[in-house]
C-alpha cells in the first residue's frame, strides 16, 4: 500500500516537468491590443518569427485592438493557462488602465503572470524647429514668459503621453496648452506643421522625424540618456524623480506552468541578445536590456504601479 502511494506521488511530482518538456505541440499565440502596423505590432511580429524558429512551432500574432487596450487585455486574461497564449502587453493595458478606469473586465495583477521584459520606450519632449527654445530650461522660460500660448500635442488626456504632458506642467510650473489627439501620428504631424509647438510621445514614434530634422528633441523621460539620442538630456537631470517610460512585456495567463514560463523567458532572452534583433529594436528607438527573469519583471511591474499611481494623484486625474 505504501509503495503504491509512493509511486502515485512520484507520478504527480514528475507530471509538470514532463508537460513542460513536451511543450509546444502546436502553434503559440501572442495577443496584442494594438492594430497592425503600430510599433508594438511590428516588434511582436519580428520577435514571434524568431521565437517560432527556436520553439519549432509557429508563433502567431493576433491583433485585438479597441477600448484603449481593454479588448486585447481581456482576451489574453481569459485565455487558457496552458502555455499557448501570451499577452504582448504595454504600459497602458497593465499599469495605467487600472488607474484611469473605474472598472475593468480584467485584473492585471491577478490575471497575468510575468514572463519576459521586451523593451522600454522612453518619451521625448520635442518642438517644432521654429520654437526658439533649444533646451528644456529655455522652453520652460518661454512658456512662463507667454503663459498658455504654447500648445503641446499628445495622444489623449488619459494616455501615457497625455498624463506625462500634464505632469510636466505640474512639475515645471508651466501652462502648456494640452491638445489631445486620437493617435500619435496626427499629434506629430500637427507639431511638424506648426499647428502645435510641442509634442510629447514615444521615442519609437519620434525617432525618424528627429533624424530628419522635422522636430528638435529637448529631453527624454528615461532614467539615463538613451543610445542614439545621447546628446538629449534626461528629464531627471532637471527634475529628479521624473522618470516614466513606456514598455512592452510578455505576460501569460495566471496559472501557466512555471516550466513553460521559464522556457519562454530563456528563449526570449536569447532572441533579444541576437545582434539583428537588437539592431532592429535600436532602429525603433527602443531600449533593450534583455528579458530579465519573471521575478525581476514582477518587481518592475510592482514599482511601476506605485510610480504611476503617484503621478495620477499629482495631476488629479479622475478615473471614468
pLDDT of residue 17: 52
CB atoms within 10 A of CB 295: 10
Q: Quick one: which H or E segment has residue 77?
A: helix 70-77
CA distances from 251 to 69, 94, 294, 302 (A): 14, 10, 9, 14
The residue ranking higher by pLDDT, 19 or 109, is: 109
Give pLDDT, residue 65. 95
Q: How confident is the model at residue 4 (pLDDT cuts 50, 70, 90)?
A: low
* Per-residue pLDDT, 45: 97
Summarised one tens digit per residue, pLDDT across range 39-63 is 899 999 999 999 999 999 999 999 9
Res. 16 pLDDT band, cuts 50 70 90: very low
In the predicted model, is pLDDT for residue 31 greater than 90? yes
What would the pLDDT profile of 202-225 be if each residue is shown by its tens digit?
A: 988 898 999 999 999 999 999 899
Q: Options 3.40.190.150, 3.40.50.800, 3.30.930.10, 2.10.109.10; which CATH number does 19-121+245-314 get?
A: 3.40.190.150
pLDDT classification of 182: cutoffs 50, 70, 90: confident
Across the range 16-44, mean pLDDT stands at 86
Mean pLDDT of 147-174: 92
Q: Does domain 122-237 have CATH number 3.30.420.40?
A: no
Domain positions in the chain are: 19-121+245-314, 122-237
Q: Do domains 19-121+245-314 and 122-237 have the same CATH topology?
A: yes
pLDDT (average), residues 152-158: 91
pLDDT in tens, 224-267: 999 889 999 999 999 999 999 999 999 999 999 999 999 999 99
How far apart are alpha carbons 181 and 85 in whole angstroms?
32
**Is residue 8 pLDDT above 50, yes or no?**
no
Average pLDDT on 80-89 reads: 98
The strand pair at 198-202 and 151-154 is best described as parallel
Amino acid at each position: 500500500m505504501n509503495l503504491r502511494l509512493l509511486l502515485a506521488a512520484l507520478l504527480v511530482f514528475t507530471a509538470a516537468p514532463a508537460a513542460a518538456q513536451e511543450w509546444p505541440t502546436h502553434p503559440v499565440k501572442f495577443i496584442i491590443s494594438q492594430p497592425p502596423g503600430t510599433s508594438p505590432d511590428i516588434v511582436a511580429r519580428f520577435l514571434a518569427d524568431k521565437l517560432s524558429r527556436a520553439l519549432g512551432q509557429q508563433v502567431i500574432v493576433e491583433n485585438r485592438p479597441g477600448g484603449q487596450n481593454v479588448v486585447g487585455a481581456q482576451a489574453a486574461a481569459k485565455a487558457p493557462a496552458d502555455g499557448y497564449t501570451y499577452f504582448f502587453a504595454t504600459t497602458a493595458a497593465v499599469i495605467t488602465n487600472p488607474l484611469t478606469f473605474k472598472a475593468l473586465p480584467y485584473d492585471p495583477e491577478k490575471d497575468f503572470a510575468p514572463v519576459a521584459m521586451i523593451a522600454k520606450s522612453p518619451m521625448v519632449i520635442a518642438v517644432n524647429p521654429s520654437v526658439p527654445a533649444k533646451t528644456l530650461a529655455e522652453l520652460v522660460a518661454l512658456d512662463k514668459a507667454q503663459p498658455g500660448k504654447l500648445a503641446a500635442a499628445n495622444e489623449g488626456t488619459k494616455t501615457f503621453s497625455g498624463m506625462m504632458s500634464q505632469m510636466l506642467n505640474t512639475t515645471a510650473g508651466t501652462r502648456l496648452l494640452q491638445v489631445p489627439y486620437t493617435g500619435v501620428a496626427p499629434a506629430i504631424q500637427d507639431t511638424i506643421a506648426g499647428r502645435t509647438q510641442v509634442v510629447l510621445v514615444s521615442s519609437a514614434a519620434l525617432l525618424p522625424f528627429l533624424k530628419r530634422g522635422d522636430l528638435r528633441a529637448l529631453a527624454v523621460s528615461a532614467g539615463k540618456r538613451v543610445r542614439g539620442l545621447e546628446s538629449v538630456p534626461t528629464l531627471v537631470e532637471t527634475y529628479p524623480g521624473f522618470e516614466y517610460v513606456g514598455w512592452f512585456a510578455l505576460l501569460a495567463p495566471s496559472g501557466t506552468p512555471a516550466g513553460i514560463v521559464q522556457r519562454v523567458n530563456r528563449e526570449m532572452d536569447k532572441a533579444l541578445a541576437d545582434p539583428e534583433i537588437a539592431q532592429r529594436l535600436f532602429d525603433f528607438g527602443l531600449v533593450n536590456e534583455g528579458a530579465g527573469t519573471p521575478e525581476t519583471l514582477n518587481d518592475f511591474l510592482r514599482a511601476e504601479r506605485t510610480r504611476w499611481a503617484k503621478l495620477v494623484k499629482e495631476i488629479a486625474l479622475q478615473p471614468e
